[in-house]
Structure formats: C-alpha cells, structure tokens
Amino acid sequence: MGEGLIHYKIVWTLGSMGLGLVWGWLMGSLKGREVRPLRAIPIIALTALLVSAQVLWFLDWIRVSFFFGAMLFAFFIHIEWRRKLIHIERS
C-alpha cells in the first residue's frame, strides 16, 4: 500500500512540474506582446494564482511549490531565449 502511494506522489509531483513548465512557457510567450500591459499583467497574475489554487485543491502545498518553481524556470528560460532570438535577428 505504501509503495503505491509513493509512486502516486512522484507522478503528482512530476505532473505539477509539467503544468508549471507549460504555464511558464505560455506566460513567457506573452511578454512584450501585450496591447495594454497595465491590464494584461494583473490578469496573467490572477490566472497563474487560479492555476496554482487548482494544483493546491487537487494536491498539496509541496506540489504547488514544484509548480511555481517549474513555472518560473520556464518563464525565465523563454524570456531569455526570445531575447537572444531578437538579438540575432537584429544583427
């Protein structure tokens, strides 16, 4: 019984990290494309909080921390990748 629960916790952790990676990548793709940034930024932040609340509802705080970590990682990787592409394109 305990071994099966450990396997589920690993799957839950990887799933929340995967969701965070996808969500962070999507948020990174929106940076710089907002028509009205003062309106878009709070909406994106609220949506990220709602997604994290869903992870919390289905799982627990530990999985939310993995979700946020993966989300921030993917967000910053995407921003840096786009910055480099723009720099290469302008060169």
CA dist., res. 59 & res. 70, Å (int): 16
Please say if the pLDDT value at position 50 is more than 80: yes
Taking only the tens place, the pLDDT of each residue in 5-47 is 677 778 888 888 888 888 888 777 776 666 666 777 787 778 8
Percentage of residues in the chain with pLDDT exceeding 90? 0
Taking only the tens place, the pLDDT of each residue in 54-87 is 878 887 888 888 888 888 898 888 889 888 988 8
Q: In terms of residue numbers, what domain contains 73?
A: 2-90
Total domains, the chain: 1
Report how far apart, in Å, the C-alpha atoms of 14 and of each of 54, 63, 69, 75 are: 15, 9, 12, 18
